[in-house]
Amino acid sequence: MASRHALVVGGGIGGLAAAIGLHRVGWQVTVLERASELTAIGAGISLWPNAQRALAELGVNARIAPQSGGGLVDWRGRRLASWDADAFVRSHGLPLGAIHRAKLIEALRSALPAESLKTGVEVTAAEPSGIVRCDDGELEADLIVAADGINSPIRQQLFPAARVAYSGGAAFRGIAKLPLSPSLSTTWAAGTEIGILPLPDDEVYWWVCEARPAGIGHEDNRAYLREKYGRWHEPIGQLIDATPEILRHDLQHLATPLPSYVRGKIALLGDSAHAMPPFLGQGGCQALEDAVVLAEHAGKSTVEAALRGYDTERRPRTQKVTKASMRAGASGPLLRNPAAVALRAAFTRLLPSAVTTRIGASVSRWEPPKLTPVPPRTR
Ligand SMILES: Cc1cc2nc3c(=O)[nH]c(=O)nc-3n(C[C@H](O)[C@H](O)[C@H](O)COP(=O)(O)OP(=O)(O)OC[C@H]3O[C@@H](n4cnc5c(N)ncnc54)[C@H](O)[C@@H]3O)c2cc1C
% of the chain at pLDDT higher than 90: 88
Residue 351 in this model has a pLDDT that exceeds 90: no
> Does some domain include residue 115?
yes
Residue 21 CA, distance from chain mean position:
17
pLDDT averaged over every residue in the chain: 95
Q: Cβ(333) to ligand 1 under 6 A? A: no
Distance separating alpha carbons of residues 186 and 129, to the nearest angstrom: 47
Q: Which domain holds residue 288?
A: 5-65+99-165+253-332
> Does some domain include residue 36?
yes
Distance separating alpha carbons of residues 363 and 286, to the nearest angstrom: 10
- What are the residues whose beta carbons fall under 8 Å from the beta carbon of 196, sequence distance 6 or more? 70, 182, 183, 184, 185, 186, 204, 205, 206, 235, 236, 239
> Does some domain include residue 16?
yes
Confidence (pLDDT) at 379? 56
For the chain, the domain total comes to 1
Confidence (pLDDT) at 112? 97
Confidence of residue 375 (pLDDT cuts 50, 70, 90): confident
> Does some domain include residue 228?
no
Contact 349, 33 (CB under 8 A): no
Q: Which of 156-170, 265-279, 351-365 bottoms out in mean pLDDT, i.e. has the lowest? A: 351-365
Tell which one of 7, 13, 261 to mutate to probe ligand 1, the residue whose CB is within 8 A of the most ligand atoms.
13
> Does some domain include residue 220?
no
Q: Cβ(45) to ligand 1 under 6 A? A: yes
Tell which one of 34, 58, 208 to mutate to probe ligand 1, the residue whose CB is within 8 A of the most ligand atoms.
34
pLDDT in tens, 158-184: 999 999 999 999 999 999 998 777 789
Q: Cβ(147) to ligand 1 under 6 A? A: yes
Residue 309 in this model has a pLDDT that exceeds 60: yes
Q: What is the mean pLDDT of residues 17-32?
A: 97
Residue 90: Cβ within 10 Å count = 13
**Could you tell me which residues are beta bridge partners of residue 133?**
125, 138
Confidence (pLDDT) at 105? 97
pLDDT in tens, 220-237: 999 999 999 999 999 999
Query: Residue 313 is part of a domain; what is its CATH number?
Result: 3.50.50.60
> Does some domain include residue 118?
yes
> Does some domain include residue 28?
yes
Q: How far is the CA of 172 from the centre of ligand 1 (A)?
A: 16
Q: Give the residue, by CA position, lying nearest to ligand 1 atom 35.
A: 10
Q: Give the residue, by CA position, lying nearest to ligand 1 atom 52.
A: 278
Distance separating alpha carbons of residues 142 and 267, to the nearest angstrom: 11
Distance separating alpha carbons of residues 10 and 13, to the nearest angstrom: 9
> Does some domain include residue 322?
yes
Contact 31, 8 (CB under 8 A): yes
Q: Which of 154, 345, 171 is nearest to 264 (CA)?
A: 154
Distance separating alpha carbons of residues 118 and 36, to the nearest angstrom: 9
Q: Cβ(35) to ligand 1 under 6 A? A: yes
Q: How far is the CA of 76 from the centre of ligand 1 (A)?
A: 33
Tell which one of 8, 45, 154 to mutate to probe ligand 1, the residue whose CB is within 8 A of the most ligand atoms.
45
Distance separating alpha carbons of residues 166 and 277, to the nearest angstrom: 9
pTM of the model: 0.97
Burial (CB < 10 A; 0-12, 13-18, 19+), residue 306, is: buried
